[in-house]
Amino acid sequence: MSVRIGKRSTINLLALLVINSALINCGGGGGSASTPPPNNSTPAYGLTVAPAAVMLQFPSTNGSNAIQLNQLASGFSSPVLMVSIPASGGRNAVVEQRGTVALLDANFTAQGALLNISAQTLNSGEQGLLGLAFDPNIASNGYFYVDYISSKTAGRCAQATDPRCTRISRFTLNKDANNNFVYTTVNNSSEKVLLEISQPFENHKGGMLAFGPDNYLYIAMGDGGSGGDPNGNAQNLGVLLGKILRIDPRSGDPYAIPPSNPFINTAGARPEIWAYGLRNPWRFSFDRQTGKLWAGDVGQNLYEEIDIVTGGGNYGWNAREGKHAYNIAVTAQNAIEPVWEYDHTAGQSITGGYVYRGNAIPALRGQYIYTDFGSGTIWALDSVNFTNQALASSGLSIGGFGEDANGEIYALDYSGGRLLRIDASTVSGATMPTHLSETGLFAAPVAQLQAATGLIEYDVNTPLWSDGANKRRWIALPANGKITFSATDAWQLPVGSVVVKHFAVALDQRQPSQLHNLETRVLIHESSGWAGYTYRWNAQQTDADLLTVGATENLNLIDGSGAAVTREYEYPSSAQCHSCHTDAAGTLLGVRTRQLNRNFNYGAVTDTQLRSFNHIALFSTDIGDAAQYGASAALDNASAGVEQRARDYLDANCSQCHRPGGGTGVAIDLRSGTANSAINAIDIAPSAGDLGVANARIVAPGSKERSVLWQRMRLTDPAAGRMPPLASHAIDDAAVALIDQWIDGLP
């Protein structure tokens, strides 16, 4: 989805672009963070006047088949689902992971909390209030059902052998003076626990609830967590984890088994099971026209899948991941392949949606609308022919969808706490330039990387590790645009802003100044969010071509000793940009105060970047003296202690995902401003696999060998547990040594 700021196909930008210092001579270079400003009583500014406007050739409209997202309501806490309430006059409910159900009237105006069970909900990582279903007969019985995680240590989970459980509970609406059910705050004492399922780990909970066309309640259960299904739950018909369940919640005590359930007469099988072999079915739905059950099942290392789930079906996990073998030691009898899969160049965590049956967008009727929590791309899969098309690059972490009584579809912005309606696009198409030389970023010849007149270069204190590549950065604002400054969080750039990062490598590492261009990435702030694009430099080093999919290349290098080395290098797709540039982290990772609070060599003058930016009024307000703000510590900054350097490195390299709302399913917080005691990693057992380490901890104080955080940094294969999993094919030896010191020094 391209920038929607008019019908023209170019964006007039205030020339502010910046690429991160590889020290290529282009009229200014990166300065050391410790370089002092000019030694005089009135130090000169690195920037003296706001740059002149420059025309960049990026599209300002989106494709003709695209959609747009329009906000209807906001202020939610980690919303994961919207559900239409039957017989309620058009009301809808939004499920908030913290343990509340927010009620909206027919105009999407907030009406308070219908339910608040936050006190009994275990809310961290993938745990919390996850599902909600209203009884089709709610007008006469007042029933609705929830799926939430609770804690045995809090006096609940009576049937659990593990410290937590999934609870499927029924609540009953209050009545008015005329004995009619009304949509008001529900009395928690009306809870009737129907089913408790013991949960061994923190992740893979599933959580979706919905009534099928048969009027039975369907329940999605993940495999119980860790990584790779270590307990073999998904293929085990004797347990409820890794399954879709079907029960009759209005009969029996506490429920009845529908007589047509497929395993009701299978020895050793739980009769509640409808289908099995699922890893983490994150959102399923019934096509209101055909009745088919569509599920998005989150993958392990390589593939995300969409399944049409039928009674008795085995969907392969953990013998298979998508259409591919995963664990050859496991046999999946009569495994059913997904109707669609995508690999992790397109995304890394599917969010299942709905087959569109509304009237507002006729072109999408019969299309299964879904997204990826990591990439934010929204797709449409034809429900008959299984052809797939991208509709939008939303730049959002979409935790779930909703369908109203008319079949219109809504998206839940998990990090932003918003409810968005999916509408047809109101503008016609335009495309990105196919070559870097056509963007207007650099003067001809583009290989010299001579930035367009008025562009300003900047540097960061603690760069993201990129397999040893040298980087330079630019940032551009639209004419008259201003940056909304924050001392602690990501800066907010206006729609129309562009950020560029250039990557190069020394093929002969004995000559580090002789650089070979690899790629130039562009982030554009479109009206729907940030969208990323990658330009890969050609073999002749004359220009760079726009990639439509991710790519890899084997680089033939000479290391410092003169030995030949081959290293894989990965170019991200547009969707993969959002794997690191997460919505939870504010999308822009380096463009924030602690990273930019450093000196920079502007050519004739070395000055503090914040001071110069403030002097030319790039911020919406005067930020005052830059000395009052903190600064990140570089990995090799000997003047900073091990603790600060380690935490700042983890912040720069890991916290974009490992933070509240980051979507990893592992409830750790590696932001440098979070105290060690609150990061939920130190002396905490890992929930996403222990890598075979005995008595493993995420961070084991005094023992790097038992610390999976340190162990993952030393791997190069994402399938084996490498972190970060994307574009990491070389070990950052200096960082491994630093984290070694930090962990071994912890008391």
Domain with 122 in it: what CATH number? Answer: 2.120.10.30
Token readout for 560 is 């410092």
- Please report the pLDDT score of residue 243 as a whole number: 98
61-65, 151-155, 181-185, 382-386: lowest mean pLDDT where? 61-65
pLDDT number for residue 362: 85
pLDDT at position 429 is 55
Of 88-102, 140-154, 534-548, 712-726, which gets the smallest average pLDDT? 712-726
Q: Which of these three, 424, 450, 485, is where a domain ends?
A: 424
Q: What would the 3-class secondary structure string for 571-626 be?
A: ECCCCCHHHHCCCCCCCCCCCEHHHHCCEEECCCCEEEHHHHHHHCCCECCCCCCH
Q: Is the distance from CB of 645 to CB of 738 less than 8 angstroms?
A: yes
Closest CA to 220 of 133, 162, 152, 299: 133
Based on the domain organization, do 71 and 25 belong to the same domain? no
Band (pLDDT 50/70/90 cuts) for residue 58 is confident
Residue 138 resides in a domain: yes
Q: How confident is the model at residue 479 (pLDDT cuts 50, 70, 90)?
A: confident
Whether 2 has a pLDDT exceeding 60, the answer reads no
- Our count of domains for the chain comes to 3
Res 545 pLDDT > 80: yes
Taking 70 as the threshold, does the pLDDT of residue 97 lie above it?
A: yes
Residue 632 resides in a domain: no
Report whether pLDDT(433) > 70. yes
Same domain, 609 and 468: yes
Is residue 109 domain-shared with residue 164, that is, in the same domain? Answer: yes
Question: How do beta strands 377-382 and 388-393 pair?
Answer: antiparallel
* Residue 637 placed within a domain: no
Mean pLDDT of 722-735: 83
376, 402, 424 - which closes a domain: 424
CA angle 606, 607, 611 (to 5 degrees): 170
Q: Is the pLDDT of residue 61 over 50?
A: no
Q: What's the mean pLDDT in 419-441?
A: 84
Q: 282-300: per-residue pLDDT in tens?
A: 999 999 999 999 999 999 9
690 confidence band (pLDDT: 50, 70, 90) = confident
What is the largest distance, in Å, between two alpha-carbon atoms of the chain?
89
Instruction: Calculate the average pLDDT of the chain.
Output: 88
Interacting residues of 693 by C-beta distance below 8 A, sequence separation 6+: 705, 706, 708, 711
Residue 269 lies in a domain: yes
Element spanning 707, H or E:
none
Q: What is the pLDDT of residue 28?
A: 38
CA 63 from chain centre, in angstroms, equals 24
454 pLDDT higher than 70 = no
β-sheet with 293-297: strand ranges across: 281-286, 293-297, 303-309, 340-343
Together in a domain, 651 and 595:
no
Does position 14 have pLDDT exceeding 80, yes or no? no
Confidence of residue 42 (pLDDT cuts 50, 70, 90): low
Mean pLDDT, residues 145-164 taken together: 90
Q: What is the pLDDT of residue 346?
A: 87
- Find the mean pLDDT for residues 47-73: 72
- Cα gap 530→535, rounded to integer Å: 17
Band the pLDDT of 145: cuts 50, 70, 90.
Answer: very high
Q: Specify whether 440 is located in the same domain as 394.
A: no
Under the banding of pLDDT at 50, 70 and 90, the label for residue 94 is very high
C-alpha neighbours within 13 Å on the C-beta side of residue 595? 23
Strand, helix or coil at 654? helix
Nearest CA to 400 among 32, 79, 726, 25?
A: 79
The answer to whether position 6 is within a domain reads no
Same domain, 40 and 146: no
Final residue in a domain of this structure, among 376, 393, 424: 424
Residues 177 and 45 in one domain: no
Residue 20: which pLDDT band, with cuts at 50, 70 and 90?
very low
Of the two residues 53 and 264, the one the predictor is more confident about is 264
Of the candidates 137, 173, 156, the one whose C-alpha atom is nearest the C-alpha of residue 251 is 137
What pLDDT sits at residue 33? 43
Bigger pLDDT: 301 vs 232? 232
pLDDT of residue 427: 60
Q: Where are the alpha helices (DSSP H) in 419-520?
A: none
Q: What is the pLDDT of residue 154?
A: 78
**Tokens 């579809």 found at:** 409
Residue 497 pLDDT exceeds 50: yes
- Tell me the average pLDDT across 81-92: 93
Residues 418 and 473 in one domain: no
Domain presence at residue 626: no
| 181-205 pLDDT, tens digit each | 998 879 889 999 999 999 999 999 9
* 684 burial via Cβ count (<10 Å: 0-12, 13-18, 19+): middle
Cis peptide before 701 (omega within 30 of 0): no
Are both 47 and 78 inside the same structural domain? no
Higher pLDDT, 257 or 20: 257
Strands (E), 496-632: 498-505, 516-526, 529-537, 544-546, 551-558, 564-571, 599-601, 606-608
Q: For residue 577, is pLDDT > 70?
A: yes
- Crossing angle of helices 733-744/642-654, nearest 10°? 130
Cα–Cα dist 84/112, whole Å:
16
Does the pLDDT value for residue 663 go beyond 70? no
- 157 with 261, same domain: the answer is yes
Give the tens place of pLDDT for each residue, 362-377. 889 999 999 999 888 9
pLDDT of 4 > 50? The answer is no
β-strands 129-134, 398-403 pairing: unpaired
Is 567 contained in some domain?
Answer: yes
Q: Which two tokens stand for residue 451?
A: 């930035």
- Per mean pLDDT, which of 35-39, 455-459, 536-540 is the most reliable? 536-540
pLDDT at 511 over 70: yes
* CA–CA distances in Å: residue 569 to residues 385, 457, 566: 35, 25, 10
pLDDT of residue 345: 82
The boundaries of the domain holding residue 32 are 11-61+430-618
Give the pLDDT confidence score for residue 60 in this predicted structure. 57
Contact 712, 722 (CB under 8 A): yes
- 47 and 175 co-located in one domain: no
Which of 1-10, 118-127, 165-174, 207-216 is least confident? 1-10
527 pLDDT tier (thresholds 50, 70, 90): low
Residue 630 in any domain: the answer is no
**Statement: residue 36 has pLDDT above 70:** no
Place of tokens 């750790």: 668
Whether the per-residue pLDDT at 29 is higher than 80: the answer is no
Query: Within this chain, do residues 81 and 134 fall inside the same structural domain, yes or no?
Result: yes
* Residue 489 scores a pLDDT above 50: yes
What is the distance, to the nearest Å, from the Cα of residue 624 to the centroid of all Cα atoms in its chain? 34
